[in-house]
Each structure stands twice: as C-alpha cells, then as structure tokens.
Amino acid sequence: MDGINGITGIYSLILIICLSYVNNFITTFIEEDFIITIILSVSVFLFFNFRKKAICFGGDVGSVGIAFLLVFFTGQLINTTYDWKYLFFFSIYGLDTIYTILFRLSKKQNIFEAHKLHFFQILVYQTGFSHLQVAAGYAISQLLLNIWIINYSASNPLFYLPILFLLVIMHFIRKKQGLAITIK
C-alpha cells in the first residue's frame, strides 16, 4: 500500500492477531510460536513506521514478504477447516484493489502504470485524512469485519452484508471525488 505510513504494518498486525485468535480458540492450524514471532516482528516494524514521519519502510520486498506469510497462514487455516470464509480476512485491501482496477479499466487506463487512485490514497491526498488516520481506519474496519467473519457462517446470507456496506461507502466517497465507476 504505497506511500501511506503504517497501513501495511497495522493491517498485517490485525490480520495476524485474528489468525492467532482462530488458532488458539477455534482450530489449531499452525504452531503458535510462528504466529507470535510474526506479531513481534510486525510490532517492531510498526514502532518505526507507524508515525507521521516514518523512520523505516517496508517497500516492495517487505510488503511481498508479509503478504506471503499472511497468505500462507490463511491457506493453512483454509486447508485445515475447509472453510473459504477466511479469505475475507483480506476484504478491505481486496475491495480497494478490485474497485480500483475496475475503475481504471472503465476509464481505459493501463492498470500496470503507477497511479494514486486507490481508496486509501484518495482518502489521504484528496480528502485530507492523515496517513495514520487512514491506516488506523483500514485496520479497525478489517478488525470489525474479521470479528464478523469469525462469528458467522458464510452460508448465512447476512455474512456478506458488511462487505456490501463497505463497498457502497467506498463507491459514494469515490463518486464525491469524481472517481467512481460509471456504467454507460
């Protein structure tokens, strides 16, 4: 999540804590010491990154590294439980990414070129929220969603309600900024 201090770290920390909760209280899918090591590592990184003027950055290598670990842990959880609902632990980033790609395709833009059209970038660069507010907002939103995901079955139609709600909010904020998908 380019250019927003703390967003990848705090989002990753929330996700790994939720995975630890599932591992400890619902079903064991991996050694807890492995999860604790990642929690401590991300916490140390956040000490230097979650601030107005960051001292340390994850960069592409750090982002890919933590993504690999989170996907691995989630894959282990899904492999153990046979429950695909845990993929929604990535919902906030996923909604942002998919919506941005669809928007850029609707405007006939090259999706492989650099841009500042992700929702988190719009919140910082166009609506005036600080990096830390946006990072915290993403983390809190994903935490609340993860609590919902842990407690509800994907076979319940209400399971998808918060995701739909978040998508509608994202669309209307983007629309206000003139950056919403338009269907002709």
For residue range 80-120, what is the model confidence (pLDDT) as tens digits? 999 999 999 999 988 988 888 988 898 899 999 988 888 88
Are the C-beta atoms of residues 55 and 48 closer than 8 Å to each other?
yes
Confidence at residue 183, expressed as pLDDT on a 0 to 100 scale: 61
pTM of the model: 0.90
Overall residue count recorded for the chain in this entry: 184
Mean pLDDT over 119-130 rounds to 88
- Domain-by-domain residue ranges, the chain? 7-176
Are the C-beta atoms of residues 148 and 85 closer than 8 Å to each other?
no
pLDDT in tens, 11-62: 999 999 999 999 999 999 999 999 999 999 999 999 999 999 989 888 878 8
Cα dist from 56 to 45, 46, 65, 82, whole Å:
7, 9, 15, 38
Nearest to 147 by CA among 135, 136, 159: 159
Confidence at residue 158, expressed as pLDDT on a 0 to 100 scale: 86
Confidence at residue 26, expressed as pLDDT on a 0 to 100 scale: 97
Examine the pLDDT at 184 and tell me if it is beyond 60.
Answer: no
Examine the pLDDT at 4 and tell me if it is beyond 90.
Answer: no
